[in-house]
Amino acid sequence: MVLSFTSQRRYATYGIAILIAIFSVSPASFAQDHNLAKELSKAFRSAVESVNPAVVSIQAESKTEPVQSAEIPEWFKQFLPPGYNNGDQSPQERRIDWQGSGVIISPEGEILTNNHVVSYTNRMGQSTDATKINVTTADGGYYEAEVVAVDPQTDVALIKLKDTKDKKFPFAKFGDSDAMQIGDWVLAIGNPFGLNQSVSEGIISAKGRTGADVPVGANSEFQIKDYIQTTAAINPGNSGGPLINLDGEIIGVNNAIQTAGAIAGNIGIGFAIPSNLAKKVIDDLKQYGKVNRGYLGVKVQEISPEQREYYINEYGINYGAFVKEVLSDSPSKNAGVEEGDLILRVDGVKVHDSGHLINLVTDRRAGDKVELLLLRKGEQLTKTVTLAERPDTIEVASASTLSEKYLGLDLDTLTAEKAKELGYPEDLKGVLVTDVVPGSSASQKNIAQNDVITEMNDKPVANVDDVEAILTKVTDEMKSDNDDERPILMKVHRAGSRLHPIFVAPYIELN
């Protein structure tokens, strides 16, 4: 493109104006900004110096049951070196190692960390407790530690250093996480990738996040999630370390990160357990040996886009938790809560979503009475519920389909009408994901409600029967081959996505 003389003169004028603006900053203004930066740096340094001596590195290991190695053929034993047990292949024990972070919270060496730092969870969501825990302190001390108590529902754990010979340790103090505001500066300290005492800075991006998916064993769908979201870099190995304010107080426990595909590191979205929640859990565990939490006895789900549109158009409501099941002989059943109700408020507090409802209820104790505001068939009504104590697990109904049993997917055949409604091509053939069990194999691969699966193991699926037939064949082969787990390749479409269909491979597990 060739610019006219007039255009050239205009752009030159713009450029001169920009240069004048850049270089017209007064020395006084520059000095003021420089001093503000130095003061912020000083605040960072002071906060780190007060907490860093209490931050520890945790190394954990677990030994699995002995595994019988394949038997060596007799003809091959002649090639083995002398002293090789004559080819004896006795069952071999396997060891799994992992690491994380923690923070000392008492002079006696009590350490706050994550439950998943002291127990290992594999890709199938199965957990095994650490059989040995070693801790390296900031001054280079090396100690064994023991688990005092854990709370899988919040992923909080308390461990204690052993054989300390009455040594007193530097410890960090708790701050008030409720007092922190979006935009406040925070610092994350821990041992990412084994780099001890690493510090990163950021701000609080959001509070009360409930969507971060952190599977913890078989009961991940029962986990309490109430996260602080932060831009402070959190990477593998940071788990269990403190998130602190500029006063050098613990306001969170680093717990999880949002990742982008195969990138297993920080992308600016990290999550921490609020300190007020962690402190309540620790205090209960130390005093009672367990955490006393309120329990409604309902299963709830997020409002689907279609439901949200209906509630907005009909009632001007775009919030709440949808009751998909009321458990028998539960507090909610006894109070008259029904399947299909939309829970709008708890004791006058607006319920943003299902995760928020769980947090509001579990923050109370068994025996407390709560008033629920419900929307039922266009009518608002109130029910008073006397909370029971939240159990460690909930009874899950037996899966009615193989897709639900092995993958955690509720599926329905995609119709042309439904495809059009969700923004898919009307001629798309496949099965519609109507629900995903949290923590399931499909959930861990980020398969979501309203996704459409069009292929499984390179075979087209046009209806639920096609899916069941493929899963039947795969599971029969697994049983025949004594194979406990096997991936199944899926071609998945997502409405509104400009990307091509993606391929994911959740695992099927027989046991």
Which entry of 151, 155, 341, 466 is annotated as an active-site residue?
Answer: 155
Tell me phi and psi for residue 446, to 5 degrees.
Answer: 65, 25
Residue 316 token pair:
């001007």
Q: Which residues pair with 186 in a beta bridge?
A: 202
By CB atoms closer than 10 A (0-12, 13-18, 19+), residue 400 is exposed
- Map residue 461 onto helix, strand or coil: coil
Which residue in the list 239, 275, 354, 403 is annotated as catalytic?
239
CA 127 to chain centre: 15
| Residue among 62, 116, 177, 341 flagged as catalytic | 116
Distance between CA atoms of residues 150 and 286, nearest Å: 10
Active site residue 178: no
Q: What 3-state DSSP class applies to 460?
A: strand
Q: Angle CA(255)–CA(157)–CA(167) in degrees, nearest 5?
A: 115
Asked if 353 is an active-site residue, the reply is no
Residue 428 has a CB neighbour count (10 Å cut-off) of 17
Per DSSP, the three-state class of 160 is: strand
Query: Any idea which residue has 């004559």 for tokens?
Result: 86
Confirm whether 29 is a catalytic residue. no
Residue 105, token pair as written in the block: 């919270």
Q: In angstroms, rounded to a whole number, what is the distance separating the alpha carbons of residues 274 and 251?
A: 6
- 503 by Cβ neighbours in 10 Å (0-12 / 13-18 / 19+) ranks as exposed
SS (H, E, C) 220-239: HHHCCCCEEEECCCCCCCCC
Q: How many CB atoms lie within 10 A of CB 270?
A: 29
Torsion of CA 138, 144, 150, 153, to 10 degrees: 60
Residue with tokens 């495809």, as numbered in its chain: 419
CA angle (22, 23, 28) in 5-degree steps:
110
- Give the helix/strand (H/E) hosting 8: helix 5-23
Which residues are part of the catalytic machinery?
116, 155, 239
